[in-house]
């Protein structure tokens, strides 16, 4: 007799969502999680809730408040003396938010009767999972279906000194500084590097980002990337492109970073803290994936089809551990899809429409194809863009930077991609994703009434601009 109908390995946004949805659909479900916080407490939520998306956004919000008071309060007639920053209070607020959310998932597990199992899991043949508990005891569990959602971990560069939890840290360590570093170096100017750099820069750090690639945000639309690059440099971020780090040396509480610049000249940089943010690797080591018959690609990701089925029948893999962008919402939707397909539903995920967001100030968000991708594919397209400088709500909010850009098929007018640089881009992109999902035209967006005054009016004007009839530009 099987112990469970479904065993989910990993309780991050992919795993816990899959487990809850399986339980909602009437399946006896267990979810295994091994993650512990620094206090030794087992916590659900994975990287995202514990040391990723949520704590970083909590710190971003705190840094926004500090920046507004320091630089913009006088514009609103607000005066004060001796503005100060207590990093310990800032960190305590972050921790409280994380605990509220992770405890909330535990309550959802109880509500939906998902069995929470603590420890490390290893795949065995015949749909079995070996669970090693924190005290070292081992038991073997059987299930009809297994869903692997073990997530990912920060990549550690071989060319530099290892993480030491103090002067050289990964993204997790960068969320836990007890004081604002005077000089902060970040290797990697991607999503994580830019967000972390933005936080500590607003709080007073001198931030230098070393990016090995010659282009800034190579995956983003070029117009958006170029505009964002200018804005971030203006804000004080020192972004050095084509900078390949070759060595580091920790000495007297600082880090000496040696790198080769864009013209192949060796340079050196001394910082008080160094953050390595060059990407993440899938957590497949120790899982017994290959021994259980699963196929792994060159990056260590578990190979799956469009429905997240692995090479072994009734074994699925979702989230960061499989192909595609390492995004929490992508993993969650894969979890829902797998659960519902196990229940006989024909659910699928449209991977081409998954939104991307970078939580800088202003935010960067996009969904669908970029202009470069359309050109490479030989697709005829039209472009409409509109700056937030033409939007009344942006002026009232005190930030008119950025724009919205819409790409539409030249023949059918179907929306192919939407790219945003601006305040609340993370919220505005939802309308674009809906348009992509329902194969809407730019005319559909142009004919949709948008409330005034709102930032969303920029989406309306950009859609009008596709047909060269924007009103306020």
How many helices (H) and strands (E) are present in the chain, helices listed first?
Answer: 13, 22
Torsion 320-418-360-104 (CA) sign: negative
> Residue written as tokens 């929306």?
415
Give the residue among 373, 418, 425 at the shortest CA–CA distance from 399.
425
Known active-site residue 145: no
Please give the structure tokens belonging to residue 301: 């990701």
> Residue written as tokens 């050289």?
168
d(Cα 283, Cα 454) in Å, to the nearest integer? 42
* DSSP labels, 5-63: EEEEE--SHHHHHHHHHHHHTT--EEEEE--B-TTS-B-SSHHHHHHSHHHHHHHHHHH
Q: Which residues contact 451 (CB under 8 A, 6 or more apart)?
A: 457
Q: Residue 252: which region, alpha, beta or left (left: phi > 0; alpha: psi -120 to 50)?
A: left
Q: Where are the alpha helices (DSSP H) in 75-170?
A: 87-111
State the burial class of residue 417 (Cβ atoms within 10 Å of its Cβ: 0-12, 13-18, 19+): buried
Contact predicate 196/220, CB 8 Å: no
Catalytic residue (choose from 329, 452, 460, 472): 452
Contact predicate 385/468, CB 8 Å: no
d(Cα 228, Cα 237) in Å, to the nearest integer? 11
**Strand pairing class (266-271; 168-169):** unpaired
Q: Please state, as a whole number, how many other Cβ atoms lie within 10 Å of the Cβ of residue 287.
A: 23
Find the helix or strand (DSSP H, E) in which 186 lies.
Answer: strand 183-187
Catalytic residue positions, numbered: 452
């Amino acid at each position: 007799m099987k112990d469970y109908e479904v065993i989910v390995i990993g309780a991050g946004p992919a795993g816990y969502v899959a487990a809850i949805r399986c339980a909602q659909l009437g399946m006896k479900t267990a979810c295994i999680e091994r993650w512990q916080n620094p206090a030794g407490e087992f916590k659900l939520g994975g990287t995202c809730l514990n040391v990723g998306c949520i704590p970083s956004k909590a710190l971003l919000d705190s840094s926004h408040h500090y920046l507004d008071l320091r630089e913009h309060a006088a514009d609103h007639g607000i005066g004060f003396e001796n503005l100060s920053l207590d990093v310990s209070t800032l960190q305590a607020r972050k921790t409280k938010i994380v605990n509220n959310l992770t405890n909330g998932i535990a309550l959802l597990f109880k509500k939906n009767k998902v069995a929470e199992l603590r420890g490390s899991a290893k795949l065995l043949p015949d749909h079995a999972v070996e669970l090693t508990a924190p005290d070292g005891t081992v038991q073997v569990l059987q299930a009809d279906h297994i869903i692997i959602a073990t997530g990912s971990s920060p990549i550690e560069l071989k060319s530099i000194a290892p993480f030491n939890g103090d002067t050289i840290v990964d993204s997790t360590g960068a969320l836990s500084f007890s004081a604002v570093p005077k000089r902060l170096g970040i290797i990697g100017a991607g999503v994580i590097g830019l967000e972390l750099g933005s936080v500590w820069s607003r709080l007073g750090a001198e931030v230098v980002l070393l990016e090995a690639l010659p282009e800034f945000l190579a995956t983003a639309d070029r117009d958006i990337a170029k505009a964002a690059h200018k804005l971030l440099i203006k804000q004080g971020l020192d972004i050095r492109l084509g900078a390949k780090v070759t060595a580091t040396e920790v000495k007297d509480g600082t880090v000496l970073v040696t790198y080769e610049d864009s013209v192949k000249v060796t340079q050196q940089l001394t910082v008080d803290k160094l953050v390595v943010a060059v990407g993440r690797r899938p957590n497949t080591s120790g899982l017994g994936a290959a021994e259980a018959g699963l196929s792994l690609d060159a990056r260590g990701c578990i190979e799956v089809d469009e429905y997240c089925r692995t090479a072994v029948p009734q074994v699925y893999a979702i989230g960061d551990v499989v192909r595609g962008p390492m995004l929490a919402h992508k993993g969650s939707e894969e979890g829902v899809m797998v659960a519902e397909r196990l229940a006989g539903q024909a659910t699928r995920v449209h991977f081409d429409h998954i939104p991307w967001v970078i939580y800088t100030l202003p935010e960067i968000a996009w969904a669908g194809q970029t202009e470069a991708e359309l050109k490479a594919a030989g697709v005829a397209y039209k472009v409409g863009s509109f700056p937030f400088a033409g939007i009344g709500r942006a002026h009232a909010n005190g930030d008119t930077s950025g724009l919205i850009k819409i790409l539409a098929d030249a023949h059918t007018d179907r929306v192919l991609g939407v790219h945003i640089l601006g305040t609340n881009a993370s919220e505005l992109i939802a309308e674009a994703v809906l348009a992509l999902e329902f194969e809407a035209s730019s005319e559909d967006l142009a004919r949709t009434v948008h409330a005034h005054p709102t930032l969303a009016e920029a989406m309306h004007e950009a859609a009008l601009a596709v047909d060269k009839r924007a009103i306020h530009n």
